[in-house]
Amino acid sequence: MSEPTDRPIDDATRVVSAGRRKEWTGGVVNPPVWRASTILYDSVAELRGRLSDTHHKWFYGRRGTPTQWSLADALTELEPGAEGTFLYCSGVAALAAALLSVLSPGDELLLVDSAYDPTRSLATGLLKRMGITTRFYDPLIGAGIADLIGDKTRAILMESPGSLTFEVQDVPAIVAAAKARGVTTLLDNTWATPLLFPAIAHGVDLTVLACTKYVVGHSDVMLGSVTAAPGHFARLRDTSFQLGQVASPDDCWLAARGLRTMAMRLKQHEASALKIARWLKRQPQVARVLHPALPDCPGHDVFVRDFNGSSGLFSFVLNGGSDAARSALIDGLDLFGIGYSWGGFESLALPVDPQRYRSVTERDDAGPMVRLQIGLEDTDDLIADLAAGLARFAATPT
Ligand SMILES: *Cc1c(COP(=O)(O)O)cnc(C)c1O
C-alpha cells in the first residue's frame, strides 16, 4: 500500500479514471452502451418510489442510463468545484439549454462580440423572440463590464478565446463584476476544455463544452455539455428535462472513448500548433498570427496568467492579397481538409471573415484570414504543405 498523499492527481490520470463506477460498468473497463426507453420495475411501489429521486437512477430512457451518467460524471470530475453536468445532442443545444435555464422574458443578456456565430444567432433569434434582449460587449472589456450591467441584466455569456479571432477574456474580472450584481456567468470553454482552463474554479457558474471537438476528438459525433457550479445544477437539469434533452447513449459511449486520450491529444495539439504558429509568424506572406500563446494575440497577458496551456486551433492574417489568393492557398493543400468543426485528429483549414459576425468591435486586418485546426500529423509535413500554399498565395495575381 502506498502512503496517502495530498499530491493532486494529474489530468492525464483523471481523464482515464473519471466516471468509471463499477456499479455501472460491471467488470468491464469502458461503460457499455445501455440503450433504453422503457425501464421495468418490480412493483407499483417501486415505480412510485423512483418518482422523487431521479438523478442517475434507472427511471425512463429520457433520463439516461449509466452510459450517459458515467460521461456526465467524468466531465464533472474534470471541473474542480463543480456540482453536476448535463449532456446535450450538440454544443449549440447545450448553449441553448444553459441560457434558457437562466433567462426569462424581459431579461438582458451580455454576450461577447467574439462569440461563435450560432451563439449570436440564438441570441438575436430565439431569445429575442422570447423578449430577451442582448447587448454585445468587447472581448477585451475586463472589469469595465460593470458599466454595462443594468437592472435587467441577468446573465453574461463569455467565450475565451473568441471564435475566429482568439481574444482572451479576463474571466476572473468579469466574474467578479457579475457576482457583485447577482448576475449569472456562463462560459463557452470549448477551446481550452477544463484541462487548460478550469472554469468553475475561476468562478464561472455554468461552463459549456462542444464535446464534438476535443472530448470526442475523432470528428464522428455531435455532443455538448454544461457543467454547473454549486447552486446552479438543479435549475439546469430541470430546464433540460422540460426541454426533453437527451444525448444518445451510443454517442456518449464514443465520447467517453475519446475522453480517455484527451489529455495526451491536447499536449500534442498544443506542441504542433505552437510550432506551426511560430513558423507562420516568420513568413513574409503572413501579417499576424492570432494564437493566444503568442504576443500578437489580444489578451495574451491574460492567457499567460490564467491558462494551463493552449490547444490546436488558431488563425492567421495574410499580408494583403485577395479572396482568390486565399482560396488558392487553401484549395491546393493536401493534408488540410476544408470543413467546419475542429478538435479531431486531422488538420483543417478554413477561410474566415470575422467582420461579418461582429457588432461592437472594428477590425483593421492587413488581408484575408485563415483558421487552422492542427491535427496529429507530423508537423514538418504540415509545414511543407503550408509553405506550398503560401507560395500559391503569393503567385496569385491581385
Ligand atoms: C463548434 C462550437 C460550438 C457548437 O458545437 P456543436 O457541437 O457543433 O453544436 C460551440 N462553441 C464553439 C466555440 C464551437 O467551436
Q: Which atom of ligand 1 is nearest to the CA of 212?
A: 7
Q: Ligand 1, atom 2: nearest CA belongs to which residue?
A: 210
Q: Please give the distance, rounded to the nearest whole angstrom, from the Cα atom of residue 97 to the centre of ligand 1.
A: 14
Cell numbers of 71, please?
Answer: 460521461
- Ligand 1 site-directed mutation target among 212, 252, 352, 371, most atoms within 8 Å of CB: 212
Of the residues 116, 137, 214, 357, which is catalytic?
116
In the structure, what pLDDT confidence band is assigned to residue 3 with cuts at 50, 70 and 90?
Answer: low
Check if 65 has its Cβ closer than 6 Å to any atom of ligand 1.
Answer: no
For residues 348 and 321, the answer to whether their CB atoms sit within 8 Å is no
β-bridge mates for residue 351, sequence order: 370
Pair 125, 268 in one domain = no
Last residue of a domain, one of 243, 259, 275: 259
β-bridge mates for residue 159, sequence order: 188
What is the rounded distance in angstroms from the CA atom of residue 10 to the CA atom of residue 106? Answer: 44
Q: What is the pLDDT of residue 1?
A: 41
Check if 233 has its Cβ closer than 6 Å to any atom of ligand 1.
Answer: no
Cell numbers of 159, please?
Answer: 467565450
What is the rounded distance in angstroms from the CA atom of residue 113 to the CA atom of residue 156? Answer: 12
Crossing angle of helices 262-281 and 379-395, in 10° steps, is 40
Check if 210 has its Cβ closer than 6 Å to any atom of ligand 1.
Answer: yes
Q: What is the pLDDT of residue 4?
A: 58
Q: Please give the distance, rounded to the nearest whole angstrom, from the Cα atom of residue 22 to the centre of ligand 1.
A: 32
In the structure, what pLDDT confidence band is assigned to residue 51 with cuts at 50, 70 and 90?
Answer: confident
Of 29-33, 136-140, 156-160, 316-320, the one with minimum mean pLDDT is 29-33
Q: Which atom of ligand 1 is nearest to the CA of 210?
A: 5
> Range of 270's domain?
262-395
Of the residues 213, 237, 265, 358, which is catalytic?
213
Domain contains 50: yes
- Ligand 1 site-directed mutation target among 90, 116, 191, 216, most atoms within 8 Å of CB: 116
User: 311 pLDDT exceeds 50?
Assistant: yes
Domain contains 6: no
Pair 238, 290 in one domain = no
Residue 363 burial (CB count, 10 A): 11
Last residue of a domain, one of 231, 259, 287: 259
Pair 186, 167 in one domain = yes
What is the rounded distance in angstroms from the CA atom of residue 396 to the CA atom of residue 333? Answer: 15
Q: Please give the distance, rounded to the nearest whole angstrom, from the Cα atom of residue 318 to the centre of ligand 1.
A: 25
Pair 167, 24 in one domain = yes
In the structure, what pLDDT confidence band is assigned to residue 5 with cuts at 50, 70 and 90?
Answer: low
Last residue of a domain, one of 259, 279, 309: 259
Domain contains 5: no
Q: What is the pLDDT of residue 107?
A: 98
Check if 214 has its Cβ closer than 6 Å to any atom of ligand 1.
Answer: no
Pair 266, 230 in one domain = no
- Mean pLDDT of all residues in 194-199: 98
Average pLDDT across the chain, whole number? 96
What is the rounded distance in angstroms from the CA atom of residue 327 to the CA atom of residue 66? Answer: 47
| Each residue's pLDDT tens digit, 57-114 | 889 999 999 999 999 999 999 999 999 999 999 999 999 999 999 999 999 999 999 9
Pair 275, 329 in one domain = yes
Q: Ligand 1, atom 5: nearest CA belongs to which residue?
A: 91
3-state secondary structure the chain: CCCCCCCCCCHHHHHHHCCCCHHHHCCCCCCCCCCCCCCCCCCHHHHHHHCCCCCCCCCCHHHCCHHHHHHHHHHHHCCCCCCEEEEECCHHHHHHHHHHHHCCCCCEEEEECCCCHHHHHHHHHHHHHCCCEEEEECCCCHHHHHHHCCCCEEEEEEECCCCCCCCCCCHHHHHHHHHHCCCEEEEECCCCHHHHCCCHHHCCCEEEEECCCCCCCCCCCCCEEEEECCCCHHHHHHHHHHCCCCCCHHHHHHHHHHHCCHHHHHHHHHHHHHHHHHHHHCCCCEEEEECCCCCCCCCHHHHHHHCCCCCCEEEEEECCCCHHHHHHHHHCCCCCECCCCCCCCCCEEEEECHHHHCCCCCCCCCCCEEEEECCCCCHHHHHHHHHHHHHHHHHCCC
Our count of domains for the chain comes to 2
Q: Please give the distance, rounded to the nearest whole angstrom, from the Cα atom of residue 92 to the centre of ligand 1.
A: 6
User: 2 pLDDT exceeds 60?
Assistant: no
Check if 224 has its Cβ closer than 6 Å to any atom of ligand 1.
Answer: yes
Cβ neighbors of 145 (< 8 A, separation 6 or more) are 110, 137, 156, 173, 174, 177, 178
For the chain, the maximum distance between any two Cα atoms, rounded to a whole number of angstroms, is: 78
β-bridge mates for residue 157, sequence order: 111, 186
**Domain holding 49: CATH number?**
3.40.640.10
Q: Whose grid coordinates read 430565439?
A: 126
Pair 202, 269 in one domain = no
| Omega of the bond leading into 295 within 30 degrees of 0 (cis) | no
User: 155 pLDDT exceeds 80?
Assistant: yes
Pair 73, 103 in one domain = yes
Q: What is the pLDDT of residue 380?
A: 98
Check if 116 has its Cβ closer than 6 Å to any atom of ligand 1.
Answer: yes
Cell numbers of 205, please?
Answer: 457558474
Cell numbers of 90, please?
Answer: 450538440
Domain contains 92: yes
Q: Please give the distance, rounded to the nearest whole angstrom, from the Cα atom of residue 359 to the centre of ligand 1.
A: 20
What is the rounded distance in angstroms from the CA atom of residue 68 to the CA atom of residue 205? Answer: 22
Domain contains 329: yes
pTM given for the model: 0.96
Check if 193 has its Cβ closer than 6 Å to any atom of ligand 1.
Answer: no
For residues 223 and 252, the answer to whether their CB atoms sit within 8 Å is yes
- Mean pLDDT of all residues in 296-318: 98
Is 213 among the residues known to form the active site?
A: yes
Pair 362, 255 in one domain = no
| Each residue's pLDDT tens digit, 106-152 | 999 999 999 999 999 999 999 999 999 999 999 999 999 999 999 99
Cell numbers of 88, please?
Answer: 446535450
Cβ neighbors of 393 (< 8 A, separation 6 or more) are 285, 318, 321, 325, 326, 328, 329
Is 57 among the residues known to form the active site?
A: no
| Each residue's pLDDT tens digit, 229-256 | 999 999 999 999 999 999 999 999 999 9
